[in-house]
Structure 1
Amino acid sequence: MAATIRVVLGVNDASKLALPTGIPGSVADLKEEIKRHFGLSGNFRLQYRDTEFDNEFVNLSCTSDIKDKSTVKIIYLTNDTNASLPHHEPTASPQGVDNTSLSSFSSTSDTDILSSPGSSASASSGSSLRSQPWPHTFPLPQFNYEVDVQLEKANLAFHNSGTLLCPSTKLKSAILESLASEIIKYKMYPSSADLDDVSQALITKHPCLKEQGSVSGYYGWKISLKYKMANYRTRLRGIGCPELSINAMKEKDGSLNHSPNQVKKPRKAEVNYCPGYPAGESKESLEAERQALLVEVKKKNQEQIKNKMERTFAYRRQEIIQDMPFITELRSRWPALFSEREVDAEFARITTVPLRSTFMFQLDRHTDNLLKVFRKKGGAAGQKIKVILAAMDKDPSIEKRRDCVLKAVSVYLNEDPQHLIKEYMDLDPGAKKDMEETMMGVYVIWHEGAEDTDQAEDVGIIIEGVEVLQGLRYFANGCALLLGLIYSLNLSYPKDLRYTFEFVQKVLLDLDGNRMSAKVQVLKNRLHE
């Protein structure tokens, strides 16, 4: 008998889980179903609300203790850095979730520590890693005492008489220097919109600094900050900052891989794009770690693999960005990187955002609104979308639903999903040759005569004609991991799928979500109508 349970994933984070075949017979099977559905990893236990103890949460030891519409809570075991939690604003409740029940969850006493999003991204990879993406509201730094005294006096004069401050060269330089050092904590190359954020925050907190002749009130500050950042980067490059050294002319001279006008910098909201080595490490010591990692991969020692991958992150990242090796070479040097677990972990190190848990959670969250938008689509694209969504009638599973929605997103954005998903029959003699000619995509192999409700024989990822991941079970899982590999290997989005990946990055994962192309922005707007 089919059942539905509510799964509490974290503070202010809960979602429904449909169980078409009913509640599993064992707790282990239920945990596996939760892991598969939400794309979770790591070691955790389950708790449920026990009516005998005033609905307090109690450890779940037998699935007979829960029934349809029951609530279970995930408790990650302390110090498990593999745990992946959905990442979104903590104050936002998922659709359909009762804030009252969430507050009762957050107040429940428990000795276990819930991992916060991104905590594993910086835990042991070295103090040089950034732990936060660009903030929604930029926090102004603490200026030195002399600057604070002058601004306090000028703000008082502004409130009393509306007098604006004309800062001296020394005062302005001190303010810009402090702002630049704070910006560097988040980005080496802030965009124009980022500089707007900083300048707006400056005149909001210190209205005496507004510019009378500027429409925005801060345009001059923005331009001055832009030049200050360029000078600040030059100074940091001179002392060997890796994220800037790769763009020094002496690094590019004589290299076939570099153009003097090509600047290597984050382009997809990477928080840790090219970090420096951990304290006390050198290229030689980290190369020794890489060699030891190869031994652990052969032993399949997952704990040691995880630790050494974290330790060598900066070394690997600099190699990928500077040398741009081919996929075959990367697989030979870093075989551990090409696994589901490590793609998730590498993506979190780069962006501080858990990959698959966030991807699946946000995709499910937006699905109902996406389907409403799709049904209003007319023309040839509307007809293609209807054909794609018809498969959901034959197979109502969550996996089929996700697969269909992702394909429909591509069609809605005027892109061909066949450029992303390559489907073959297991006896197709031309499949191998076609896969070898594929630059990037997710392949799905079906049994001859398989029905829509059958699970694929194999799902994997191809990059540069090489099968880099296999056994991914479903297309949506493959799509999420392909995005993770694009980040991990510092690849560009395929031109014929750039809007599909932009939607995933900026809408589903909320990475650089304040700047979108017109197509993606329109789709996002319609999701909230």
Structure 2
Amino acid sequence: MLLRVIVSESEIRRLSIEDIPSSVEKLYQVLRTNLALRGGFILQFEDPDFNNQLCNLTDIKDLPVDRATLKVLFTADDSTDSTLDTGSLSSPSSADFVKWPDSFPIPKFSHDVELQLKEANCRYAKDGSVMVISKTLKTNILDTLADCMSKITAYPDRQHYENVAKTLVERHPCLRDPGSEKGWYSWFHSLKFKMGNYRHKLSSAGCPEVVINKRKSGSSKGETVKKSKKGEVNYCPDPPEGQSPENMEVKRKIMEAEMQKKDPNHQLIEDLMVSTFSQRRKDIVGDQPHITELMSRWPALFHERQIRAEFTRIVTTDLLKSFVDGLDGLVLRLLEVYKAATKSGKKQPLKDILDCLAKDDTNERRRAAALLGLPRYISGEDPSTVIRMCDAHADILDDAMKGMQVGLLIACEGSEQGAIPHEVFDVAVVVEETIVLHNIKDVTVGFAMIMGVIYCINLKYPNDMKYSLEFLQRVVMKISPDQASARVHGLRNKLLRYKL
């Protein structure tokens, strides 16, 4: 299929792809990979049924079969249609950031390489003979693949390397390893080394994510920054096309002024949050400011809706839906595992939680019991520095927040509470002894929001609950589940084997 892609008035690209993608989302991935498109965008196509007038592409079946003209509209640009809800969790601007494709689209190599591969593939089809690969040819292939991979992420995971190596050999069987059962293992290792070298080039060229992951000098504030570890898709993305740091700083100041109004324009704020995303991540990941400075500079971020939207931009996953749906599928198993653990009489805190649940067994309290019992079960963690309860009518909260670097403050009725609060008035997320988010309706949403805050402002999991929060990430929310620690992996297997 032949595509004419209008990226901007001065950039109109010709792109040839073998097959029509099966969905609009997969077409987005193909364009991101082959044209190095960054940030959020929507697609329009010239509709032959309407005299080739532009229409939004919402169904891949609407696209002409053999050749089509597409226009890219970046949703972070000021020229975006004002009727587009760019803050919406389902819009391309927030939910369709760069994501690794299910099947990596192998790019076209230079003309001479393509000719050599075509001839070698014919010989392979005829007698099964594999190609003798010269150093120059291999370098050309690896350079091209590394360039395409880096447009998706500069730090691919193991499964990404395997995906590319496997797809390369399927596309060009003449490149198979003669002594390998899988046929692509040497390409897997070569790609890993090549990407390491390619990151040096990206760093020299000023790629934000790679530059920001270099070791900082002793004069720099904050600890050494390392690459993302929690399954972030957009850890420190490039600025949108046509946007400069100065331009985004102007937008940030407009948003800051808007937030000071009694009745701010929420649609304007959402649009500005989308368009300043890359600058915000650079501030947070690169400068590592104190929380008070961050709240002063980006006040719009610290609201439940914006935490959810920012989380979606970072991970491409809906925060609350993935958390609640994942938890509901595990609650009964977790509670049964807790009951079995209390039979020995060694886990009194777990027994107290289950006793409270026995007196008032609602769906909301079952969720709370599963979450509050998790640190007590998974490794005997003491959650008191992370999860605290206080009297909702207390005038001073400083004592309750004292020593809390990252945590939840649950405001309940009365000064004495059981293991599960009877009536929750408010749940607040605390960072560096400062409330950053409050007016949360229940304990379950509170746990989801602390996960959102940790991702949005690039925090480490607190040591006293690191396994519990990792479990929420990898098992409940299914973010990078294959990289679970041995402790989390063990509990996941136990839950899967447990019969209700």
Task: Please state which band the TM-score falls in when normalised by the shorter chain.
Answer: 0.7 to 0.9
CA positional deviation for 1:337:
0.9
Query: Using the alignment, how far apart are the partners of 2:275 and 2:425 within structure 1?
Result: 36
CA positional deviation for 1:491:
1.0
Change in CA separation of 1:380 and 1:165 when aligned onto 2, cut-off 3 Å: farther
2:87–2:94 CA contact under 8 A, matched in 1: no
Query: Using the alignment, how far apart are the partners of 2:300 and 2:251 within structure 1?
Result: 13
Change in CA separation of 1:174 and 1:381 when aligned onto 2, cut-off 3 Å: farther
CA positional deviation for 1:82:
4.8
Q: Partner residue of 1:493?
A: 461
Q: Partner residue of 2:319?
A: 355
Query: Using the alignment, how far apart are the partners of 1:367 and 1:483 within structure 2?
Result: 18
CA positional deviation for 1:358:
1.4
Q: Partner residue of 1:389?
A: 354
Q: Partner residue of 2:482?
A: 514
2:88–2:309 CA contact under 8 A, matched in 1: no
Residue 135 of structure 2 corresponds to residue 169 of structure 1:
yes
SS in 1 for 2:307: helix
CA positional deviation for 1:139:
4.2
Q: Partner residue of 1:50?
A: none
SS in 2 for 1:468: strand
Greater shift, 235-244 or 350-359, is seen at 235-244
Q: Partner residue of 2:43?
A: none
CA positional deviation for 1:427:
6.0
SS in 2 for 1:528: helix
Aligned residue identity for 1:406: L
Q: Partner residue of 2:247?
A: 285
Change in CA separation of 1:201 and 1:507 when aligned onto 2, cut-off 3 Å: farther
CA positional deviation for 1:310:
1.2
CA positional deviation for 1:292:
1.0
Query: Using the alignment, how far apart are the partners of 1:506 and 1:169 within structure 2?
Result: 41
Which residue of the other structure, out of 310, 331, 338, is the alignment partner of 1:367?
Answer: 331
1:462–1:469 CA contact under 8 A, matched in 2: yes
Q: Render the CA deviation track for 1:26-74: whole Å, top value 9, x for unaligned.
A: xxxxxxxxxxxxxxxxxxxxxxxxxxxxxxxxxxxxxxxxxxxxxxxxx
Aligned residue identity for 1:182: C
Q: Partner residue of 2:204?
A: 238
Normalising by structure 1, we get a TM-score of: 0.70
Residue 438 of structure 2 corresponds to residue 470 of structure 1:
yes
SS in 1 for 2:481: coil
CA positional deviation for 1:140:
3.3
Change in CA separation of 1:380 and 1:489 when aligned onto 2, cut-off 3 Å: farther
Q: Partner residue of 1:424?
A: 390
SS in 2 for 1:457: strand
Q: Partner residue of 1:461?
A: 429
Greater shift, 455-464 or 195-204, is seen at 195-204
Query: Using the alignment, how far apart are the partners of 2:130 and 2:225 within structure 1?
Result: 39
Change in CA separation of 1:148 and 1:386 when aligned onto 2, cut-off 3 Å: farther
Aligned residue identity for 1:499: Y
Greater shift, 369-378 or 315-324, is seen at 369-378
1:381–1:411 CA contact under 8 A, matched in 2: no
Which residue of the other structure, out of 374, 393, 405, is the alignment partner of 1:409?
Answer: 374
Q: Partner residue of 1:325?
A: 289
Change in CA separation of 1:289 and 1:380 when aligned onto 2, cut-off 3 Å: farther
Which residue of the other structure, out of 80, 94, 103, is the alignment partner of 1:121?
Answer: 94
CA positional deviation for 1:119:
2.9
Change in CA separation of 1:365 and 1:235 when aligned onto 2, cut-off 3 Å: same
Which structure 2 residues correspond to residues 249-328 of structure 1 after superposition, within 5 A? 252-253=216-217, 255-257=219-221, 262-299=224-261, 300-328=264-292
Aligned residue identity for 2:212: I
SS in 1 for 2:390: strand
Residue 144 of structure 2 corresponds to residue 191 of structure 1:
no
Aligned residue identity for 1:395: D
Residue 98 of structure 2 corresponds to residue 131 of structure 1:
yes
SS in 1 for 2:468: helix
Q: Render the CA deviation track for 1:344-387: whole Å, top value 9, x for unaligned.
A: 01111111111112111111122233334434435456654343
1:460–1:472 CA contact under 8 A, matched in 2: yes
Q: Partner residue of 1:442?
A: 408
Query: Using the alignment, how far apart are the partners of 2:211 and 2:388 within structure 1?
Result: 40
Query: Using the alignment, how far apart are the partners of 1:321 and 1:271 within structure 2?
Result: 14
1:381–1:412 CA contact under 8 A, matched in 2: no
1:389–1:405 CA contact under 8 A, matched in 2: no
Q: Render the CA deviation track for 1:264-312: whole Å, top value 9, x for unaligned.
A: 3222111111122222322222222111112211223211111111121
Aligned residue identity for 1:171: L
2:386–2:464 CA contact under 8 A, matched in 1: no
CA positional deviation for 1:229:
1.1
Change in CA separation of 1:170 and 1:502 when aligned onto 2, cut-off 3 Å: same
Q: Partner residue of 2:58?
A: none
CA positional deviation for 1:469:
1.2
Q: Partner residue of 1:524?
A: 492
Aligned residue identity for 2:366: R
Change in CA separation of 1:524 and 1:203 when aligned onto 2, cut-off 3 Å: farther
Greater shift, 176-185 or 354-363, is seen at 176-185
Query: Using the alignment, how far apart are the partners of 2:331 and 2:106 within structure 1?
Result: 38
Query: Using the alignment, how far apart are the partners of 1:136 and 1:416 within structure 2?
Result: 40
SS in 2 for 1:470: strand
Change in CA separation of 1:147 and 1:397 when aligned onto 2, cut-off 3 Å: farther
Change in CA separation of 1:205 and 1:386 when aligned onto 2, cut-off 3 Å: farther
Change in CA separation of 1:527 and 1:158 when aligned onto 2, cut-off 3 Å: farther
CA positional deviation for 1:490:
1.0
Which structure 2 residues correspond to residues 20-39 of structure 1 after superposition, within 5 A? none
SS in 2 for 1:403: helix
Aligned residue identity for 1:411: R
CA positional deviation for 1:389:
2.9
CA positional deviation for 1:248:
5.5
Aligned residue identity for 1:495: N
1:273–1:350 CA contact under 8 A, matched in 2: yes
Aligned residue identity for 2:322: T
Greater shift, 154-163 or 219-228, is seen at 154-163
